[in-house]
């Protein structure tokens, strides 16, 4: 296992392991894996290890000393009933709510916290809309590290907040939104107060690559036509693209899927620039959406996400909060799978793109559903009917059922 950390923009090699941006051009960083030892092998050779992040350890920048909660290995559901409803040939859902803390963030965090331990860091921290903090708090607990999380004031889903506090993180809400919290945590990381584990840390997307490795592995090394992600800070879709580029270069797959990103209408800076064919984007000032996990106006990996989409002939689209909630409930009631609002954005985006004719009904599509429904119980309750209350008699209940 060997690798280099490079600037994704100018290619400069980065030696200092504590940097989160390029000292020459301020560009995003990325890990460049040397995979030459895998040439001539088959991904089937990896199947002696259980499905999960560490099945793919030969493609990850961590040797021994893994901090793991057995993350990954999540279901890939074949959703016939929803496919019928939407009118598409095949719809599969990669259900990331089945991870240890209930979101895909655990994939990145097992690698990121392993890296923190390798570097001898004692305090880890992040800015978060919720799931990153829940995940980091759990892995920090497992590794015996101190953990500091910065949350935007208000608009953090209850389940995520409860998790971060439960696992013993120091939870601080800052007077501002996610973008403000990220700016502050980067500053704390530069001054050496903590090791930052937001997804601008290039080790995080390395773990998140495994989401796409698993999809292809679970499809017995067939490649779906399209993979659709909800997009917030935008590292996850890029990690998926990076993953399958690596496999393509190894000759493990013979085509790339079309990477497609969905943002919420109230926080859609990348959709705006995609519409104009631009490679860069203008931040949105006051992002707003019920899908709090993607309520981000200045996506730190936005340019990478656009590259993933352009390079595979994909699209970026926006959906309204109403479309998101509709998709969330329809999915739950057709397929028995509960996801949080941000996750349902991928489904809502698929529906919209089918209706607009931008996705063919003959495609085999995978939607990534990023987090569990229990993350945000308040939004569920706000969109359900009333609870029914009766006297404790069979007759009263019979009446209630009739009504």
Ligand X SMILES: *Cc1c(COP(=O)(O)O)cnc(C)c1O
Of 18, 25, 382, 397, the one binding Zn ion by CB under 5 A: 25
Span of 5-13, 323-331, 336-344, 352-360 interacting with ligand X by CB under 6 A: 336-344
The C-alpha torsion from 281 through 284 and 287 to 289, rounded to 10°, is -50
* 43 vs 108 by CB, closer to ligand X: 108
Q: Which residue is nearest to ligand X (CB)?
A: 371
Instruction: Tell whether residue 9 is a contact of Zn ion (CB under 5 A).
Output: yes
Of 150, 268, 293, 316, the one binding ligand X by CB under 6 A: 293
The DSSP 8-state label assigned to residue 68 in this structure reads -
Instruction: Tell whether residue 24 is a contact of Zn ion (CB under 5 A).
Output: yes
Of 260, 267, 370, 379, the one binding ligand X by CB under 6 A: 370
Q: Which residues contact 50 (CB under 8 A, 6 or more apart)?
A: 73
Site for ligand X in 101-120 (CB under 6 A): 103, 105
Sign of the C-alpha dihedral computed for residues 175, 179, 182 and 186 taken in this order:
negative
Minimum distance of ligand X from residue 94's CB (angstroms): 12
Q: Which residues contact 154 (CB under 8 A, 6 or more apart)?
A: 173
- The owner of tokens 């389940």 is 159
Instruction: Tell whether residue 10 is a contact of Zn ion (CB under 5 A).
Output: yes
Q: Is 15 exposed, middle or buried (0-12, 13-18, 19+ CB in 10 A)?
A: exposed
Sign of the C-alpha dihedral computed for residues 300, 280, 29 and 62 taken in this order:
positive
Of 43, 100, 232, 297, the one binding ligand X by CB under 6 A: 232
Which residue, among 322, 308, 310, has the nearest Cα to 368 in the 3D structure? 308
Instruction: Tell whether residue 145 is a contact of Zn ion (CB under 5 A).
Output: no
- The owner of tokens 């989160």 is 20
For residues 363 and 90, give the distance between their C-alpha atoms in angstroms, rounded to a whole number.
7
* 27 vs 377 by CB, closer to Zn ion: 27
Instruction: Tell whether residue 199 is a contact of ligand X (CB under 6 A).
Output: yes
289: tokens are 């959406």
Instruction: Tell whether residue 343 is a contact of ligand X (CB under 6 A).
Output: yes
Span of 65-73, 225-233, 268-276, 311-319 interacting with ligand X by CB under 6 A: 225-233
Question: In the stretch 26-65, what mask flags binding to Zn ion with x, by CB under 5 A?
Answer: -x--------------------------------------
Q: Which residues contact 318 (CB under 8 A, 6 or more apart)?
A: 262, 263, 264, 265, 268, 271
Span of 112-120, 247-255, 337-345, 383-391 interacting with ligand X by CB under 6 A: 337-345
**Vertex 268, ends 291 and 282: CA angle to 5°?**
140
Minimum distance of ligand X from residue 36's CB (angstroms): 29
Q: Give per-residue burial for 277-305: e unless 16+ CB within 10 Å, then b.
A: eeeebeebeebebbbbbbbbbbbbbbbbb
Span of 4-12, 173-181, 216-224, 241-249 interacting with Zn ion by CB under 5 A: 4-12
Of 53, 202, 371, 373, the one binding ligand X by CB under 6 A: 371
Count of chain residues binding ligand X (CB under 6 A): 18
Name the site residues for Zn ion (rule: CB under 5 A): 7, 9-10, 12, 22, 24-25, 27
Positions in the binding site for ligand X (CB under 6 A):
103, 105, 131, 199, 230-236, 293-294, 340, 342-343, 370-371
């Amino acid at each position: 296992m060997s690798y280099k950390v490079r600037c994704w923009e100018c290619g400069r090699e980065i030696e200092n392991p504590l940097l989160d941006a390029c000292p020459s051009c301020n560009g995003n960083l990325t890990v460049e894996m040397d995979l030459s030892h895998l040439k001539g092998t088959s991904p089937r050779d990896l199947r002696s290890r259980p499905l999960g992040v560490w099945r793919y350890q030969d493609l990850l920048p961590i040797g021994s000393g893994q901090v793991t909660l057995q993350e990954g290995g999540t279901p890939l559901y074949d959703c016939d009933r929803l496919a019928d409803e939407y009118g598409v040939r095949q719809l599969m859902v990669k259900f990331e709510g089945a991870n240890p803390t209930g979101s895909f963030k655990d994939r990145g965090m097992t690698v990121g916290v392993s890296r923190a331990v390798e570097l001898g860091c004692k305090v880890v921290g992040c800015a978060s809309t919720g799931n990153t903090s829940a995940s980091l708090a759990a892995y920090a607990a497992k590794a015996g590290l101190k953990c500091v999380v910065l949350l935007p004031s208000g608009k953090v889903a209850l389940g995520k907040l409860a998790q971060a506090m439960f696992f013993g993180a120091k939870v601080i809400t800052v007077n501002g939104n996610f973008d403000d919290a990220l700016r502050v945590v980067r500053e704390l990381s530069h001054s050496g107060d903590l090791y930052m584990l937001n997804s601008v840390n290039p080790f995080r997307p390395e773990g998140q690559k495994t989401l796409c490795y698993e999809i292809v592995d679970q499809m017995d090394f067939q490649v779906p036509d399209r993979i659709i992600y909800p997009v917030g800070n935008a590292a996850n879709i890029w990690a998926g693209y990076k993953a399958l580029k690596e496999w393509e270069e190894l000759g493990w797959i013979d085509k790339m899927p079309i990477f497609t990103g969905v943002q919420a209408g109230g926080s859609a800076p990348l959709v705006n620039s995609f519409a104009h064919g631009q490679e860069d984007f203008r931040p949105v000032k006051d992002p707003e959406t019920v899908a709090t996990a993607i309520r981000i106006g200045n996506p730190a990996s936005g340019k990478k996400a656009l590259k993933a989409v352009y390079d595979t002939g994909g699209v970026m689209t926006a959906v309204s909060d109403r479309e998101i909630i509709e998709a969330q409930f329809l999915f739950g009631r057709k397929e028995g799978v509960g996801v949080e609002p941000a996750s349902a954005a991928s489904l809502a985006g698929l529906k919209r793109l089918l209706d607009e004719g931008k996705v063919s009904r003959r495609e085999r599509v995978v939607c990534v559903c990023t987090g569990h429904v229990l993350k945000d119980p308040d939004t569920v309750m706000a969109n359900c009917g009333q609870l029914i209350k009766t006297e404790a008699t069979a007759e009263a209940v019979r009446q209630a059922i009739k009504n």
